Structure 1
């Protein structure tokens, strides 16, 4: 029997549920692509989506969604324009060729999973199988309709190039410049009325300008992102225009069309377009000059008037060009006056801004008549007029997400303060869990962290129903599926949400330790490894035991990172766990172990350093020398001076000795001065360049010794001749300034 229920209308649906449906659809799409097909999280998210769809389908037979490149439409209206998650969902559907998506009463769990699997396929596979709609049709799916591009309309041809018209000849480089520009300008937009669309068979510059004017008029409240799209399109267009293969007559024709196009734009759209053009082409004054040269005189005068009124933003480099152009056009007095008026020195700009932003000077910039009108209006008001910033805050308080945050705060307050009966307690618990899931799905990890902190604060003196509800909610935070979901958000949401996720992990604590360690062990990227280590470092002693258990991992790079983490935790007790790694591990692990012993000033650290300095392996010895600067052990100092006395002539030996001089300078012990003096007095026939570098390092190091003998040595060297003498004299002067 035919149902009489109407199709979807954005105003008739429960927008709160629709909001959740779209969020959950996007999450399910990512889960299906990211996890193995038998992973439980796929069934969990798909089941939740099915439940939400069932709630909406009680109101209508079908839910129809329109898909553009970056927006979703319901009932002909854009739904939540600017929402990052919906933009991601729209882009994913659009890239898979889906332009219309319908859910009906027959939708089921397997169909949802199959649909999301289809969205995860490569475009070539989708085209070969007739798109997402073809995959669904062959599988007998009845509850989901995904209409898209009709790939069957495309067919192969033996022609090497498709000609524009019969007899027109092959396309020459640059012949499609204007078409590319217009296509890029209009790409990714959806005009539900049809009046703003320009077909590729109607590319007259005036028609394109009029279409852009109409689109701007309709979308004016949401035009915040338009300048960015202009900039990217202008840059792309100018790159094509710069192509050396383009015939000059095509270039000239395209620039003439661009001039006509700019001339036919409305003042508001022209302001946006030229501001973007000047900003993106600030380094290409030659191209700006070509564009301006193709404008009609009337248009050029209008442009200069807009610049004079500061309606068009012009970088200083372009203003210089305008000044030059004004001198070239002697007859155009207006052009010269505008350019001259806009050339202002940096100091003058600074002084003007100081005057403008002086608190007590605000009235100077408001006309008297207008100020009197404002005061008369304000006098009739019961209170002060709200500021625009306050209005924006009030608008934000009406958003769905803000309301959900406040509802969560109220529920937590009720749980702690009232004494509900069993049914009320169950209802509060269910609503709280729904909100926690909502925050997880929308990526509001800070709200989750705040809720967890509040739940932990409930004490034993709370009402009898408080603790069971709190405990149930706390179990949610420690659930493996939820932890996986939070960590998956690192990839799903990107860097924007990393700090929020880190705050949540820091708040929840122990349940995240093992999953973080697993991810750290497998992560290939340096940035994410550092992020995981920072998160584990936040957990400090909570993570310490789990880290120590994993020190027996066979992968040296994993053990190295674990030793670094234990050092960051700053607990000397960890030394008992890493002692066995000394001398028995990979050199890089061994180095981090030595750093850890030195960090905690353990007496064994100096013994380990001496052993490393005696080692025949040059790399291990050099690493040990670089750590010696924090030691004050006489044994370590003696071993370092022995290295200086070594008579080797290779470049490695000289590099090692330079590192020794730096370490001894950090220590600053006078016991090293005789060895340093020997280096400075050394004469050699071989490797004079390397030896001279070593002597320079030795002289520079002397300023770090707070001993009279070091100063006397510098004075003796300064009394001589050559580069070392000049270097010693400079060192003495700097040393004298430091003492003052």
Structure 2
């Protein structure tokens, strides 16, 4: 399989989001109990994304190669910190691949995460399989690396062999007698006692001889019977014995005691540096296992048990007191003795203690308690944890390994913050990384992290978050838009184009408007979209922020098949001062379609297009041959009233003086409409019309005229 960048499969974006959510939910399951809001939220997101993948494929196989994830024959981005963290966690459990199968339930996904958090790293593949079976995960198949299938041969090498498995081979060789102590490297003493105990607990010991136990002890401690135990060796031996299974403790204790030194004083000195708890634990094990104790150790234990009264009830060992299994030095004994108590605890101090004992805390204010509860709230804890990680990530003294770990954590934090609308937290992460890049702090890892946060996938996640929760944090969303600049504009326009909700479209239009004329190139490019509403929305953006440069791109749409697109294009040209828009509007005013004419008339009035006043006046002067024709003039009167140019008053006077016996009702409606529009004109220009209206026989005209006169008087 070539390790090179290849074209990813079509479902790579959904897969990427699914892996990110899987990693977040894995961490949450390891930190919080079932039912916690963070667990439920991350589980739901991961489950929904996996269901989308199942719509494309019945099975999804994810392979693991150390710190890299592989889907099909494609390596996922090795520089992505979230991918890397998830892969490393699986690798530590010797997981070679995962197969997610259709039918997977959310409960199974939760149980799988529990398995990942509970499984011990030192367990064998068979043991891990048994643990997984206990979680009843049916629709996730897990393949483990079987190290027993590997062997050493002459002329072959094994790269990066697991140190733990290497020690297992040595220890098993000692037990079986196939390996001599001289063949063991000196580094075997560096095996942690807990790990050695774990290795032996897994070994088959039914048919082992007594010499096998002796060989392990002498090899691990590296000592002879003539030399006494050092305190370090004694502590390591105790930790090792305590980690063994009960049935092994007796054999190894016996082997350890065989080489016990005869020098009681040396052993006593070694015991002085060992905690009382460990000594008592060793004694308890000896009693339970009924191990024969060597004479020197028996003498020492008798001395240890010979406690002499010294004026107090607690037992004494040497010059020290043992109280509740704790050694108390002679200085402390002197301090607490009855005769010297008042020298160290004065009467004043004693009174203060009595006050504390009698103080009634129930009446104290709960303000500090409430503040403490708030600080223990999950949101505060998550915030503080993120701030701590940011501090670590910006520290120049951290190792590269730790830095990569912190970066992976920050990647998960950023996704969580997007889910809750905490965009200022995402910005803080970005600013820390920018600062690290400027300071050249682990430049390769920092660049990889910045590449991830500036990738189309992450920007799309930001925009998806804006769509769901962005309106509740508008100012912070704008700040995040500012950070990404023009690179986020296409994603914002994508939502504006596809979104059904008018409220969300309006919000995204406000985000796009924040970029002013920077969004013009993308809007011009989208004019080529075949959908009429996309063209209309792009023309709206161009009208808002465009100048003379948009005119050549907009003119062709003045004659679009959809009248909404045409009028939006005319608006653009009118705002830009291009007369081509006026000519296009006049064409629609002369249309044979009454519906189009009415829209053009309404458009002329709403946008106060003075250039078409002559055209509107001409429409009023046109003789009506029916009541319907006269009613068609009402929208024209309204449009002229909205424009409120005094040049239209003469034609109003002509209409007010006209009479018709046949269409009297329609004429009266025209006259009433004229008086309704006069309020938009200067009063000096309509004084004669107001006075005439006061004398009208029509009550509504008289009332409107009186209202105009009073308005002017006020």
- What TM-score results when the alignment is normalised by the length of structure 2? 0.50
- Structure showing greater radius of gyration is 2
| TM-score w.r.t. length of structure 1 | 0.48
